[in-house]
């Protein structure tokens, strides 16, 4: 790796002045499970590293505020480790999130990796990660995956010059749960729905998220606003080739409210992961389930709607039926069905 | 007749924990990677980033100025010469020791970029005179060098830290002429005249053989099946990468700590390269983290480390990084074959024809073991035809990998058998039993040839029972479904040699007057448990506990041994240890007998004591050894294939084994995920020396085979020619959670002597898993690994088997 200057500010306020208003020369360090790899491979060659590891307080904490007739409002600091999300009692009402966190990579990664890292990490495309290949994201003229080895790439590809999949496994459940992101910069604080924090990059000065280079993600808040009297159902389901230390091939996260009595699903949100350059909300799938009682048949119909619009590449057509299965299973799990696939 | 294995065994065949288990588990064991010598430098390899290129120009100036830089050597840029004339800074010389072109004249101007080495020291012009033998490395000699794959070695650089070495490597300016490349077999098949490799073309015409009348065999059959099956190129993925630490001694000798499967051969190759007497090079491999056939010598990086150490005047360590390990340190080559098989309703195979090809990379030979196709059953199948074509691509060259060619053979045969069984509507076990090679009644009674049919049938019986086959097998695709899950069970057979090595293997046993026992051998323990095996044998003969034996292994100076390949180590070293221990015991008796007024031939070791059978007296081991006085007792043992073949030795070591494996799987037809639930491995291995490490070897082979079945594949990019998964992220290797229950059954046959078992258990696992998936789905997934995408694709196509 190239030499760099290492800063370890004690607070977010101290960290902000160390950032620049363009990408490349500064990198933020949290768990390091992504950044160190990029440094060693010379994929990233920053001159300055700003470590967030000495920042204490809310940045590293999970806090919950009870809401009347609703699941609690939970704020997760960006510096909270994946293992602490997976094991948090405060997050027990949100199994979509805790089970997703518990399945990321292996114990070593979960013990180091953070929420902020999961959401802001760079993509895992093997062309992007090879220092000898100049792909679009590194200023090259083409995306090699379009015509090349693309079995792990996006199937929702329309309009995307670069066909990475977004690597975060926490983003889909958080978006399904309607989470918001709290962001700070020299210009002050801002908050936005988490789904707005992601973008499909296609050039070197773009990341997989919409944060400005001088911004820091502070926290993410989950605060469901369910119709009165309903209860929250949520789940995440992913298909991985290996049980541990593997990336999902597809992921589906769902959240909806269940009406008492009628058992109908309301406020359905379905998010697809590892199939597009961003975590992908599927209003088509949600609409199919909205107002319906969850059954094998309604789950399958919603799943079929989720894959409409998929335009797989030469080698990843398999992800389409696989995603359909994942969406169906996530819906059934959320509604409390006993899995018949285990 | 020589004394054989003890009839009454105390330790042999029992479960003895590895002597170095605690050292390995706690990190106390020092592998090559852990060796750090005073003043040691760190070396890295510089590799060609292009799949095919020629060096146009090179500039090392910037590299030499980077912080911490200490030495550089260019691969293929040095020549051994004899100086004929010196004119200013201009040297004229002839190639040294080359009979091919004795008249060749080499001229070179000594200046920047030219290194002179004389008597293993970097020297200047002033230090040489006509008649001197000198090694010259000249940067200009690397110009024009052709590189054949992305990862081909260009240079090695040493610096004070690994980071500085990497920085220095990145500062090296090399101008490449990028040439046409091809990295996939099918591109070669489309254009067979293509030439991007050293061979005259990327495609070599197929070689093959025929027996009987294949067409008649197809005609007389009740069913004929034709299909194409394939296995990919996979990497050895040694957990400890290739590499060594090289240190020149003050006396002009060379010590290397190498991660190698062959201490003696590594030392010999280094001695030859540097013109040293073999005794001046010591290769040390006390602990080793996996080789699987890919680590038989110093290798490019090993020679480079010694060269850099010479130039820098300091020890140098080069261990490959993971990318280098995967792209440059060998692979198991691919094999893709069209197989036509025909059979009768009673299970008789009437004909088998395979036409296959595969790639060993940019150079190398056949990718299957062509002489053993059809695999296992060839001696029973009357009519067969086989052919294989080598396809060269711009990728690293294949190396031997745990049973080279056999897993490929196994898939090309065993997949076809299950497909034929399905067509005949019979249990595939019927075909296997019907076509097993026959016993040869004229062969020696304990030999493989005399017993193979019986051994296989017994193994099948055991495997059927352990896997509950009769209860679990169903016609393909006709099992009970549970939701999206389909259950399947499949079988495959294999065979292997496992004889003693042709080269001599020595072991020395030394008994001290304090009763301590040293067992010393140059052989290396690759993680197989060989250290413990040596101790077990010596402990058995001398009536001791294996843990009390001081094992000194893994140094070339300890004597002769062969490389650990072909599963030869245990059948070579266990008998050598047996003979050494027997000789040491006899020497002990001879030396002490007069002092205790006994006749050596009345002395014996019983239950840890030395007894005089004549007088009934006995001594504890320590008491008896104390009588050695100022002496010690010594024994040397030697073993080799030649000795094993001497009359009367067939019970000490032999070879040729069979094995049967059964896999049970569930397949999720919605996601394509295959999970192996249970794997039964029945293995013939003659006399079991250490049951614990032997079972562990079989389980380890099965685990490797499961990865072949489900996960492993080198993925090379057509456009860039680079391997995209030269890592452990997308080069997938299963973890504990991916592993099934593994049931190992060792088929004890002590009368066959010791037989190597390192390789056979890896062979049939993938074929058994593939057949289990076929049984689950009723659809053949023809190519390994059995990934979700291949399973879903096969299901979508309905499994076209014509």
A304 within domain boundaries: yes
In this prediction, residue B412 carries a pLDDT of 98
Average pLDDT of the residues in A307-333: 98
Interface contacts (A, B; CB < 8 Å): 92
Closest-approach residue (CA) in chain A for B738: A243
A45 within domain boundaries: no
Q: Does B785 touch chain A (CB under 8 A)?
A: no
Q: What is the ipTM of this complex?
A: 0.97
Residue A264 DSSP code? B
Neighbours of A298 (CB within 10 A): 19
Smallest Cα–Cα separation from B317: which of B77, B41, B528?
B41
Give, rounded to a whole angstrom, the gap between the first and last alpha carbons of chain A.
44
Q: State the best of A102, A103, A107, A126 to mutate against chain B, taking most chain B CBs within 10 Å.
A: A126
> Could you tell me if B674 and B738 are in contact, meaning their C-beta atoms sit under 8 angstroms apart?
no
Number of structural domains chain A divides into: 1
Residue A79 DSSP code? T
Closest-approach residue (CA) in chain B for A1: B163
Provide the 3-class DSSP secondary structure of residue B352.
strand
d(CA A104, CA B369): 41
A308 within domain boundaries: yes
> Residues B502-529, buried b or exposed e (16+ Cβ, 10 A)?
ebbbbbbbbbebebebbbbbbbbbbbbb
In this prediction, residue B100 carries a pLDDT of 64
d(CA A144, CA B721): 12
Residue B649 DSSP code? -
Q: Does A90 touch chain B (CB under 8 A)?
A: no
User: Of A316, A326, A341, which has the smallest distance from its Cβ to B483's Cβ?
Assistant: A341
Between chains, do A239 and B673 touch, taking CB under 8 Å as contact?
Answer: yes
Smallest Cα–Cα separation from A70: which of A94, A46, A54?
A94
Looking at CA atoms only, how far is residue A307 from chain B in angstroms?
14
- Name every residue whose Cβ is closer than 8 Å to that of residue B645 and which is 6 or more positions away in sequence: none
In this prediction, residue B311 carries a pLDDT of 96
Radius of gyration of chain B (CA): 29
Q: State the best of A330, A341, A342 to mutate against chain B, taking most chain B CBs within 10 Å.
A: A341
Q: Does B623 touch chain A (CB under 8 A)?
A: no
Average pLDDT across each block of 10 residues of chain B; the chain has 802 residues. List them in order: 86 97 96 98 98 97 97 96 94 83 84 94 95 96 98 98 96 98 97 96 96 98 98 98 97 96 98 95 97 97 98 98 98 98 98 98 97 97 98 98 98 98 98 98 95 98 98 96 96 97 98 98 97 98 97 98 96 98 98 97 94 97 97 98 94 97 98 98 96 97 98 98 97 96 96 96 98 98 98 84 38
Neighbours of B224 (CB within 10 A): 17
d(CA B369, CA B317): 37
Q: How confident is the model at residue A136 (pLDDT cuts 50, 70, 90)?
A: very high
Looking at CA atoms only, how far is residue B350 from chain A in angstroms?
38
Between chains, do A242 and B163 touch, taking CB under 8 Å as contact?
Answer: no
Smallest Cα–Cα separation from A165: which of A82, A238, A96?
A238
pLDDT tops 60 at residue A329? yes
Q: State the best of A242, A249, A319 to mutate against chain B, taking most chain B CBs within 10 Å.
A: A242
Smallest Cα–Cα separation from B605: which of B546, B542, B547?
B542
Q: pLDDT tens for residues A259-312?
A: 999 999 999 999 999 999 999 999 999 999 999 999 999 999 999 999 999 999
- Outline where B275-427 has alpha helix (H): 299-312, 322-328, 406-424
User: Of A2, A151, A322, which has the smallest distance from its Cβ to B671's Cβ?
Assistant: A322
Owner of token pair 């007088």:
B615
Q: State the best of A149, A320, A326, A332 to mutate against chain B, taking most chain B CBs within 10 Å.
A: A149
d(CA B281, CA B290): 23
Between chains, do A241 and B673 touch, taking CB under 8 Å as contact?
Answer: yes
Contacts of residue A246 in chain B, CB cutoff 8 Å? 732
In this prediction, residue A2 carries a pLDDT of 85
Q: Does B593 touch chain A (CB under 8 A)?
A: no
A161 within domain boundaries: no
Owner of token pair 């050598």:
B576
Q: Please provide residue B478's backbone torsions phi and psi, each rounded to the nearest 5 degrees.
A: -110, 15
The tokens describing B209, both together, are 């053989």
- Name every residue whose Cβ is closer than 8 Å to that of residue A89 and which is 6 or more positions away in sequence: none
Contacts of residue B717 in chain A, CB cutoff 8 Å? 127, 144, 148-149
Q: State the best of B670, B727, B739, B794 to mutate against chain A, taking most chain A CBs within 10 Å.
A: B670
> Could you tell me if B514 and B627 are in contact, meaning their C-beta atoms sit under 8 angstroms apart?
no
d(CA A91, CA A74): 7
CA angle A311, A316, A320 (to 5 degrees): 60
A327 within domain boundaries: yes
Give, rounded to a whole angstrom, the gap between the first and last alpha carbons of chain B.
59
* A-proximal residues of B, 658-677, CB under 8 Å: 668, 670-673
Domains of chain B: 21-30+500-644 (3.30.365.10), 41-178 (3.90.1170.50), 331-499+654-797 (3.30.365.10)
The tokens describing A164, both together, are 């990475």
A297 within domain boundaries: yes
- Name every residue whose Cβ is closer than 8 Å to that of residue A169 and which is 6 or more positions away in sequence: A100, A101, A103, A104, A118, A236, A238, A248, A251, A273, A274
* A-proximal residues of B, 434-493, CB under 8 Å: 482-485
Q: Does B150 touch chain A (CB under 8 A)?
A: yes
In this prediction, residue B800 carries a pLDDT of 46
A21 within domain boundaries: no
HSE, CB side, 13 Å, CA atoms: give it for residue B348. 10
Residue A305's domain spans which residues? 231-334
Owner of token pair 């320590």:
B622
Q: How confident is the model at residue A147 (pLDDT cuts 50, 70, 90)?
A: very high
CATH of the domain at A327: 3.30.390.50
Provide the 3-class DSSP secondary structure of residue B701.
helix
d(CA B505, CA B509): 14
Q: Does A239 touch chain B (CB under 8 A)?
A: yes
d(CA A185, CA A19): 9
Neighbours of B330 (CB within 10 A): 28
Closest-approach residue (CA) in chain B for A143: B719
> Residues A36-48, buried b or exposed e (16+ Cβ, 10 A)?
ebbbeeebbebee
> Could you tell me if B564 and B260 are in contact, meaning their C-beta atoms sit under 8 angstroms apart?
no
Looking at CA atoms only, how far is residue A186 from chain B in angstroms?
35
Contacts of residue B720 in chain A, CB cutoff 8 Å? 127, 130, 132-133, 144
Q: Does B101 touch chain A (CB under 8 A)?
A: no
The tokens describing B736, both together, are 């504990």
The tokens describing A280, both together, are 């992908």
Q: Does B797 touch chain A (CB under 8 A)?
A: no
Q: Does A24 touch chain B (CB under 8 A)?
A: no
pLDDT tops 90 at residue A76? yes
A247 within domain boundaries: yes
Q: Quick one: residue B674, left, alpha or beta (phi over 0 = left, psi -120 to 50 = alpha)? A: beta
Contacts of residue B787 in chain A, CB cutoff 8 Å? 241
């Amino acid at each position: 790796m190239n030499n760099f200057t290492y800063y370890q500010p004690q607070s977010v306020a101290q960290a902000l002045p160390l950032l620049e208003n363009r990408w490349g020369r500064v990198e933020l360090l949290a768990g390091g499970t992504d950044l160190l790899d990029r440094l060693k491979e010379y994929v990233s060659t920053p001159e300055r590293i700003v470590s967030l590891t000495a920042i204490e307080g809310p940045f590293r904490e999970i806090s919950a505020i009870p809401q009347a007739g609703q699941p609690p409002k939970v704020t997760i600091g960006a510096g909270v480790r994946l293992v602490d999300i997976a094991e948090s009692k405060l997050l027990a009402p949100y199994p979509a999130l805790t089970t997703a966190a518990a399945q990321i990579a292996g114990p070593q990664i979960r013990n180091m990796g953070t929420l902020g890292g999961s959401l802001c990490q760079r993509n895992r495309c093997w062309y992007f990660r090879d220092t000898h290949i100049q792909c679009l994201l590194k200023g090259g003229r083409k995306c090699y995956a379009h015509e090349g080895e693309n079995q792990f790439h996006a199937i929702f590809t329309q309009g995307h010059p670069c066909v990475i999949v977004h690597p975060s496994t926490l983003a889909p459940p958080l978006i399904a749960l309607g989470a918001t992101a709290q962001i700070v910069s020299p210009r002050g604080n801002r908050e936005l729905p988490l789904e707005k924090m992601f973008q499909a990059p296609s050039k070197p000065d773009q990341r997989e998220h919409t944060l400005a280079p001088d911004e820091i993600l502070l926290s993410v808040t989950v605060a469901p606003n369910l119709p009165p009297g309903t209860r929250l159902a949520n789940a995440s389901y992913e298909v991985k080739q290996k049980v541990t230390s593997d990336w999902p091939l597809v992921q589906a996260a769902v959240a909806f409210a269940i009406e008492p009595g009628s058992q109908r699903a309301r406020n359905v949100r379905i998010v697809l992961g590892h199939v597009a350059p961003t975590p992908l909300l599927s209003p088509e799938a949600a609409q199919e389930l909205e107002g319906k009682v969850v059954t094998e048949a309604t789950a399958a119909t919603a799943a079929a709607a989720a894959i409409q619009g998929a335009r797989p590449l030469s080698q990843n057509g398999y992800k389409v039926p696989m995603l359909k299965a994942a969406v169906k299973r996530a819906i059934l799990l959320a509604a409390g069905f006993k899995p018949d696939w285990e | 007749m020589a004394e054989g294995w003890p009839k009454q065994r105390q330790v042999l065949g029992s479960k003895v924990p590895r002597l170095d288990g605690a050292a390995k588990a706690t990190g106390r064991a020092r592998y090559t990677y852990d060796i750090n010598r005073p003043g040691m430098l760190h070396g890295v390899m510089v590799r060609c980033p292009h799949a095919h290129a020629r060096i146009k120009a090179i500039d090392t100036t910037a590299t030499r100025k980077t912080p911490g830089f200490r030495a550089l050597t260019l691969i293929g840029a040095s020549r051994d010469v004899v100086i004929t004339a010196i004119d200013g800074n201009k040297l004229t010389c002839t190639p040294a020791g080359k009979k091919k072109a004795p008249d060749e004249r080499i001229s070179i101007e000594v200046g920047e970029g030219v290194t002179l080495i004389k008597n293993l020291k970097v020297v200047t012009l002033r230090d040489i005179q006509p008649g001197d033998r000198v090694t010259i490395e000249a940067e200009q000699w690397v110009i024009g060098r052709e590189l054949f794959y992305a990862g081909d070695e260009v240079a090695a650089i040493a610096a004070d830290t690994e980071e500085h070495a990497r920085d220095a490597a990145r500062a090296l300016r090399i101008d490449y002429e990028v040439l046409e490349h091809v990295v996939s077999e099918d591109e070669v098949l489309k254009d067979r005249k293509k030439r991007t490799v050293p061979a005259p073309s990327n495609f070599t015409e197929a070689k093959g053989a025929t027996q009987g009348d294949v067409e008649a065999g197809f005609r007389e059959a009740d069913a004929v099946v034709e299909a194409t099956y394939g296995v990919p190129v996979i990497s050895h993925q040694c957990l400890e990468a290739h590499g060594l630490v090289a240190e020149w001694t003050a006396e002009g000798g060379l010590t290397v700590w190498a991660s190698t499967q062959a201490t003696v051969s590594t030392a010999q190759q280094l001695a030859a390269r540097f013109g040293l007497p073999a005794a001046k090079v010591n290769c040390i491999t006390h602990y080793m983290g996996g080789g699987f056939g890919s680590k038989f010598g110093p290798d490019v990086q090993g020679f480079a480390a010694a060269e850099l150490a010479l130039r820098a005047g300091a020890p140098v360590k080069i261990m490959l990084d993971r990318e280098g390990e995967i792209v440059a340190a060998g692979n198991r080559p691919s094999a893709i074959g069209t197989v036509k098989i025909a059979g009768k309703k009673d299970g008789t195979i009437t004909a088998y024809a395979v036409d296959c090809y595969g790639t060993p990379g940019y150079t190398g030979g056949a990718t299957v073991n062509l002489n053993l196709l059809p695999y296992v059953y060839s001696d029973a199948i009357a009519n067969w035809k086989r052919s294989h074509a080598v396809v060269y691509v711009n990728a690293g060259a294949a190396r031997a990998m745990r049973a080279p060619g056999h897993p490929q053979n196994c898939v090309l045969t065993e997949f076809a058998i299950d497909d034929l069984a399905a067509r005949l509507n019979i249990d595939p076990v019927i075909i296997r039993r019907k076509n097993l090679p026959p016993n040869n009644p004229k062969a020696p009674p304990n030999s493989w040839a005399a017993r193979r049919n019986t051994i296989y049938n017994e193994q099948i019986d055991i495997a059927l029972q352990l896997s509950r086959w009769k209860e679990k097998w169903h016609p393909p695709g006709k099992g009970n479904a549970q939701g999206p899950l389909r259950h399947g069970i499949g079988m495959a057979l294999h065979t292997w040699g496992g004889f003693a090595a042709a080269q001599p293997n020595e072991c020395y046993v030394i008994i001290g007057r304090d009763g301590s026992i040293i067992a010393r051998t140059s052989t290396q323990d690759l993680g197989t448990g060989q250290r413990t095996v040596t101790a077990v044998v010596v402990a058995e003969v001398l009536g001791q506990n294996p843990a009390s034996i001081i094992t000194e292994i893994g140094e070339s100076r300890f004597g002769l041994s062969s490389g650990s390949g072909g599963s030869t180590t245990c059948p070579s070293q266990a008998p050598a240890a047996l003979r050494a221990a027997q000789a040491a015991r006899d020497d002990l008796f001879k030396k002490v007998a007069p002092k205790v007024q006994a006749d050596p031939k009345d002395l014996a070791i019983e239950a840890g004591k030395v007894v005089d059978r004549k007088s009934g007296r006995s001594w504890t081991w320590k008491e008896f050894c104390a009588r050695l006085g100022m002496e010690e007792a010594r024994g040397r043992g030697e073993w080799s294939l030649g000795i094993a073949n001497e009359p009367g030795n067939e019970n000490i070591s032999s070879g040729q084994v069979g094995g049967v494996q059964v896999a049970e799987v569930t397949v999720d037809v919605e996601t394509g995920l295959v999970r192996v639930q249970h794997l039964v491995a029945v293995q013939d291995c003659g006399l079991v020396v250490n049951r614990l490490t032997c079972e562990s070897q079989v389980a380890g082979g099965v685990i490797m085979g499961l990865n072949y079945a489900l996960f492993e594949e080198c993925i090379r990019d057509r456009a860039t020619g680079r391997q995209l998964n030269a890592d452990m992220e997308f080069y997938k290797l299963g973890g504990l959670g991916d592993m099934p229950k593994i049931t190992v059954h060792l088929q004890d046959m002590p009368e066959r002597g010791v037989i190597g078992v390192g390789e056979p258990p890896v062979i049939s696992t993938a074929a058994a898993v593939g057949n289990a998936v076929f049984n689950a789905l009723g659809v053949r997934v023809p190519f390994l690994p059995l990934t979700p995408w291949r399973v879903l694709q096969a299901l979508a196509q309905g499994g076209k088997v014509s």
